[in-house]
Structure formats: structure tokens, C-alpha cells
A and B are shown apart, each in its own frame.
Chain A
Amino acid sequence: MTLDRTKPPVIHDAVEFDYKLPPLNTTTLDNGLPLYWVDAGVQDVVQIDWVFPAGLWFEQKEAVAHATAGLLKNGTSKHTSEQISEALEFYGAQLKTSAGNDFATVTLYSLTKHLPALLPMVLEILTEATYPEHEVEIYKRNVTQRLLVNLRQCEFVANQRIDALLFGEHHPYGRFTKQATIDAINREDLLAYYKGHYSLANVRMFMAGKVSVADVKHLNEVFGAAPIVATPVAPVAFDHVQRSERVQRISNEPNGVQGAIRIGRLFPNRHHPDYTPMVVLNTLFGGYFGSRLMSNIREDKGYTYGIHSSLGPEVNGGSLVIGTETGRDVTEAAVIEVYKEMELLCNEPADEEELLLVKNYLLGGILGDLDGPFSILQRWRTLILNGFTEEQFNRNINIYKNITTAELQALAKKYFVKEEFYEIVVI
């Protein structure tokens, strides 16, 4: 019997599968701190996140949130920066600290067996950081030098500018790093931000990996014994300032061979009923390799190595941004094609087969994600930090499975409105 290779094997649609978020354990430590944890996987590894309300949203002075996170482990009342790095790295562990738009996150990656040796040092960093003067100086200089290099890249400049266009340059989501703001920060700013925003009273802890109640006990012995002093974080609000020109062209490198294109609009966050349907529409439009944008602008025209559209949900709003780097001669042609693809989605419903493909692709990806401890935790963390429960996950799955081409077209008409998009091309 010869094999008919033109005939594909039967495909089981991912929309027919069941999706269940693996369980999350919640433990309250002795001092009342909440710990969320997931036991999964077979490798003896663990990830722990400490999440603080210390993102850019809360900073009073620009560049402070990033610097406070960036210098967190560069000195405590008991140890120097070098001693801290040595203590963590000796065990093959990594401690990453970063400030995002809303939250600052400290993440420990380690072999599970080394947790007891590492946790006291993490606690010390989170409660006794000192921000030594010379560390602040080295940080400022090295960040400035990195900025100088980054500013020579069109995509970096374009990313900065599109956020500023969408939110306004003074809004926390629209701010971007400048040499002057780095120059202006000092040790006192960082210490004050640290004291006000890294209080354990406001931390949320997330742990995942091959972990057991014994590891929870280790965590409780260290973090459950720490004193908690209520440190309320004052709510902050920002007005959306009047924004500038909808369309901008910037010349960054006179001899650049490519241009970076960003086309974006404000788009609500996860709490809005249009958010999850937009995940589907956005995927179809520019969110995966087979998307409309990729098929047209990369695979048909060869203008670019890649083009993507993505949602940027934050606690207080969000955005939808299309981004690509193209040859400098075809930037304007690519911009036109992006709007054409939007218009097409407004004018004609997507093909049923295409929507099924997008659903299967999206759900197949979720199935793969539900496999590893870290990605399971990531899903739970997003739910918890946004004030959702498992119900939200199930509701989203339901939307992914059942959304129709008519609903997508209505959504496109509502949001793919050219006049509401800001665009920038940086060469």
C-alpha cells in the first residue's frame, strides 16, 4: 500500500480539549504573609517571586523605580554587594530584580535543595538594603552608557516614543529613560522609595517547582518570622495629558538601513469585556507566525524579518501596538499595508477555517503552557495580581472556544479605527 502524502492525518481540534488550570496552594505564613505555591514538574528546581507595589506607577521622581529595583541587592547593613553576589551565586542561584509599570518583582531561581541556604539572604536584601553611595554612582554611570548604546538602535527609540505618544511623556506608562533623569537620582531617593514600597506588609509571594510542604516550612521559618509593619501605599492617579501629533517620523541614524515602525492605540486591560475577545482578534491579525500581518508583510512582500501585534495590559489601562523593522525604502509601504489589513478585518468577516485555526493555535499553546511549573505559576500570578480567580481562566477558555467571526468583525470595527492609532517611524 502506498502512502498518500497529500492526505493529512485527522486533526483533533484543540477547541474540543479540556483545559484545567493545575491547582494553586495558598498558605498564610505565621506573620500573616500570603504565599501562593504550585507543586509541579520533575526537576528539583524552584522559582520564588516576591511582588511589591513598586513599579513606575508609584514613583514620584523619574528613574527611581528602576534604580531602586536595580540596586536592591547591592549592599545591606550586613553585607557588601560582592558578598551578596557571592552568597547567591555560590549555590548556582540567580536573583533577578526588576521594576515594571505597576509592580516590582524579585525572583529567585534555584535548585530546591539550596533554598534553606538562600532564603535568609533574600530576606536580608528585602528588609535591610542600604544603597551604598558608590554603588549608586557605578549604577548611574553604567546605565547611562547602556542608554547611549540603546539610543543608537531604531527599535529602542521607537519603543520609547510610541509609549510616550500613547500615554503622554509624564505618565508612568509613557515615561522613558533619559540621561538627565538618571543623573538626577541619588541615594536618598532610592532609600525612600525602598522604605515606602518594598515593605513586607505589601508583598505577595509566589513559589513554583518541585516543592513540598517542607519547602513551605523553610519559607515560613525565614519569611514567616519577619516582623511586619503596616506600610500603606498611597493610591496614585494620573490624568491622560493631551497628546501630540498622531503621526511622527524621526531620523535617528542618517545612514540607517532599516526603519522601526510602531503603530499603536490605547486599549483597555484585562477587566474589560473586550479584552479576551481582542486576544483572539489580535492573534489572527498579528499575534502568531501565520497572522495576517506576517503573511502579507513578511511572507508575501519580504519587507521584514518579523512583524507582530501585541496587547499590553496594565493595572491602569493598556495598549495595542504593532511593531516591525523593515528596509528603509519600504517603511511607508509597510505602514500602508498594516492599515489595509485592519480595514480588511473591518470590512470582511474572517474565514471560518482561519478562525478555527487561530483558536486551535491559541488553545494548543495554553495546553503546552499548563505543562511546566513556572508557566502554571505565571498564569496564576496574572490572575491574582489582577484580582481574578480561576473563574476568569475558565471564562477566557470559553471565549477562545466559542467566539464567532461576526464578533471579531464587530470588534475590529470598534477598535481598528485608523484615526485612533498613533504611528511612528524611526530610521
Chain B
Amino acid sequence: MLQFEKFTLDNGLRVIVHKDTATPMVAMNILFDVGARDEEVARTGFAHLFEHLMFGGSVNIPEYDEPLQMAGGENNAYTTNDITNYYIQLPLKNMETAFWLESDRMLSLAFSEKSLDVQRKVVSEEFKEHYLNKPYGNAWHELRTLAYTTHPYQWPTIGKNLEQIETAQLADVKAFFFKHYRPQNAVMCVAGNVTLEQVRELSQKWFGDIPAGDKYTRNIVAEPKQEVDRTLTVNADVPLDALYKAWHMAGRLTAPYYATDLITEIMGSGFSSRLYQRLVKEQQLFSNINCYHTGSLDPGLVVIEGKIREGKTIEAANEAVEREIALLVAEGVTESELQKAKNKIEAMISFEDMTLLNRANNLAFYELLGDAEMINKEWDHYKAVTAEYLQETARDIFRAGNCNTMFYLKKQAEVVAAP
């Protein structure tokens, strides 16, 4: 059980306080309710590019990192399809430095041309490093586009392509900031040996006078139900054929979400999982295989991906995966498999809660979902999943028409064009 208290400032900023008396550090986590799903189709990758710009100086503080490092602190940030999260850890005695820095950049950025210019390049290099210059690096670009026809999950957080990042303008940056980075679109969590009163006072002092701004109302068109299976074949300069399969699943705040999480554990997580045992060890069709889900807030994807063992055909590998799926749907799972999956989740929750930063991050995330207290109910949701309900959920996910299959094939000895 994670203990916490919370309050909301007049400008709408939600603040969670988590007390941990053992640590000499304090963690400050600020989560903004904006991710790649909020981007326009012609400006993808912007939420993530923007995350970089948040480190380029704010209206009253030219350098963000320097004072924080001087205070013995560390920080970083990440962007997902759903949210953007910033976090700091520093010695408790210097807690106010974090309030000073974070409130100033929530007030307004410096909006410097130089910073935009450099970060466009940095993000372009990030794009190249992770998505262009790696075998299979573009697989998720392709898979998302195949699985989502309508919903903005059809592009990854890095963006659809380099061009959209390279042409981002300062005017876009400003508009994005004032649309999404307002107090009422944010949740802050402060964790450490602190009191509610201390945090309230500091929050009021530093964040209290930031204008609330306009409330952003999300207006995303839901992905229509997929009725016909889709197949895509990609040829690329890779050493091995790879298979990717994706099925639409339920959203984060629904009951099937927990059953889905357990299904992916049973199917493809660990050496004793079904897919690993049967397809890597027994039938030896794959050299590796994984099953997981995207865990997104709007309905995400259950994914099975693996590299085909040399000498085996991708068709045979695909059929074997489909047989395992059919078996799951027809016969469900054993009580022992279900218990194992639950035991894994129980351990995972405990390990996740070990660090102060994770706790601060998770509390902020659940508050964004609706109420930080939900974090303490998660385990109950998992425990409540029965084998019958799991099978019912599997039937929904793996129904005919819901599948997207991508054959990612190695090109046979020919010259490959530059990407």
C-alpha cells in the first residue's frame, strides 16, 4: 500500500504528496496530459520534440540543467503516445530548487531559436539511431500504420518521418506549450521525507500564480472495430525473417485490461511461457519470441513478435503461432498457469515500488487516470481474474478479423536503396 495525500491549487494543478521518512532524497515528478496521440497528422513527433525543448531554458532561468546539477540533482523525461513525464531526484535539503526550476518552465519557456534548431538536429539523430540505422528499426512504424487506420496511435512518439521534425517552427512550439503545458493539464507528485504542509506551501509559492490556461479537451476519433484480418509484407535489408502479429485489445481503464496483461504473461513472458517452450524449444521455428501489449490508455495492441530460425519458413512459423492462439481460445489456461502469471505480477509490483522515483511517477500516473488511490487497487484487479474470464477475454482479442500480420522479410541479395 502506498500512502499519499493530495490537494489541488486554484489554477488546477493537482499535487500528490508521498511520505518516505527513510530517504535523504526527494523526487519530484510532473506529468503532462499530452502525448503523441494529441498530435496532428502533419506534425507528428512534436510532443517528443517538445520534451527536448523543455530543457532549453525557461522565461527566467536561462539554463535548466546547471542549477539542478549544482543542487546534486538528476533529471530526465520521456514521452509516450499518451503522456509526457518529467522527473527530478535531488537531496531533500535542495528541494526548493526543483520547485523553482519546474515552476518557471511551467510558467513559460524561453522559446529560443537556437534551442529549437539544435534539438531538431538532436531528435533527428535520435530518430536515425533508433529507427533508421538499426535492423528492424522501422518495424513499429509499419505495424502501427497497419493496425490503426484512424486513431493517432498509427504513429510512434518519435514521429512518422524525419521531415516533420526537421520543419518544426517556433510558432508551433509556442502554440503547443500554451495548449498543453498548463497547470490544469498537469499532475505533480513530490515524494520523500516531506510533509503535506511543506509541499503545499512551496507549491503555492512557486506554482500558485501560473495562469490556469484553457482546459484542453481531447477529441480523438476512436479506432473503428477491425473486421477483416490484414497482412503486410515488408522487404528490408535484415539478416533474418521476422514475424509480427498485432490484435486490438481493450483500453487501460477496462476490466479486460488486467486479463490481457495476464494472457501476455502466460503466452510470451519468460522461459516457461507457452510460446517460448513450444516454438523456440520444442518446434524450434523461432530463435526468439515475445508476447506483450502496448499498455496504452486508449485501446492498444497485443503483439507477438519473433525472429524465424534460419531454415524454417515464416509461413510455418505463422501457422504455429496461430495454432497456439487457437489452443488458448479453445481450451483456456490452467489454474497453475494463471497462478504463475499472478505471482509474476505481484513480484513486479513490489520491485517497481522500490525506488522513490517510480513511486512518484506511478502515483502521478494513476492520478491522471482518475485517482492516485487506484494504484493500491491494481493487485486486487489482477487477483480477481478467473480462468474463465481470461478465456473470454482471449476470445474477444483473438476473434477472426482482429489480426494484423506483418511478414518482415530479408531481401535476397540485391542492392538496397538508402532510406
Q: Which residues of A contact B (CB under 8 A)?
A: 3, 5-6, 8-14, 17, 41-45, 81-82, 85-86, 88-93, 109-111, 138, 141-142, 145-146, 148-149, 151-154, 253, 255-258, 288-290, 298-305, 325-327, 356-358, 360-361, 363-365, 367-368, 370-374
Contacts and interface: CB of A to CB of B under 8 A. Distances in A.
Contacts of B219: none
A364 B284 contact: no
Given A6-B60, A92-B344, A305-B125, A145 B69 contact: no
B135 A11 contact: no
Contacts of B416: 255
B125 A12 contact: no
Interface in B340-398: 340, 343-348, 350-351, 353-356
Nearest to B65: A290
B119 A302 contact: yes
B24 A153 contact: no
Contact of A368 (B67, B74, B107, B345): B74
B80 interface: no
A360 B272 contact: no
29 contacts: A5-B60, A5-B100, A9-B96, A9-B97, A9-B99, A11-B67, A11-B97, A12-B71, A43-B351, A81-B281, A92-B348, A141-B287, A142-B309, A146-B287, A149-B238, A255-B418, A257-B133, A257-B419, A258-B129, A258-B132, A302-B120, A303-B125, A361-B69, A363-B72, A364-B71, A367-B24, A368-B89, A371-B23, A371-B355
3 smallest CB-CB distances across A and B, nearest first, come from: A364-B72, A302-B121, A92-B347
B287 A145 contact: yes
B100 to A, nearest CB: 5
Nearest to A88: B272
B344 A89 contact: yes
A contacts with B: majority SS: mixed
Interface in B89-127: 89-91, 93-94, 96-97, 99-100, 103-104, 107, 117-126
Interface string B43-67: 0000000000000000111000111
Contacts of B272: 82, 85-86, 88-90
A304 B336 contact: no
Contact of A5 (B22, B94, B107, B119): B107
Contacts of B271: 81-82, 85, 89
A11 B209 contact: no
A289 B65 contact: yes
Nearest to A137: B284
Contacts of B348: 92
B28 interface: no
Contacts of A89: 270-272, 340, 344
Contacts of A82: 271-272, 277, 281
A364 to B, nearest CB: 2
B100 A8 contact: yes
Contacts of A145: 239-240, 287-288, 307, 309-310
Contact of B91 (A6, A17, A148, A302): A17
B290 interface: no
Contacts of A373: 354
A4 to B, nearest CB: 9
Given A5-B61, A92-B344, A360-B70, 16 more contacts: A6-B61, A8-B67, A43-B350, A81-B271, A82-B277, A86-B272, A90-B272, A145-B307, A256-B133, A289-B65, A302-B122, A302-B125, A303-B121, A327-B128, A356-B70, A358-B69
B205 interface: yes
Nearest to A4: B60
B207 to A, nearest CB: 11
Nearest to B352: A43
A357 B69 contact: yes
Contacts of A327: 124-125, 128
The interface centre, meaning the residue of B72, B94, B96, B126 with most chain A CB atoms within 10 A of its CB, is: B72
A91 B336 CA distance: 11
Given A6-B60, A9-B96, A89-B271, A141 B309 contact: yes
A284 to B, nearest CB: 11
A109 B24 CA distance: 25
B117 A302 contact: yes
B70 A11 contact: yes
A92 B345 contact: yes
A12 B288 contact: no
Given A86-B272, A142-B288, A257-B132, A148 B240 contact: yes
B339 interface: yes
Contacts of B93: 12, 17
B57 to A, nearest CB: 11
B332 interface: no
B125 A304 contact: yes
Nearest to B344: A92
B407 interface: no
Contacts of A374: 354
Given A45-B354, A149-B239, A288-B69, A258 B100 contact: no
B287 A360 contact: no
B280 interface: yes
B328 interface: no
B270 A153 contact: no
B100 A9 contact: yes
Nearest to B66: A290
Nearest to A82: B277
A304 B122 CA distance: 6
Q: Which of B70, B356, B417 has the most CB of A within 10 A?
A: B70
Given A257-B128, A360-B71, A371-B24, A45 B133 contact: no
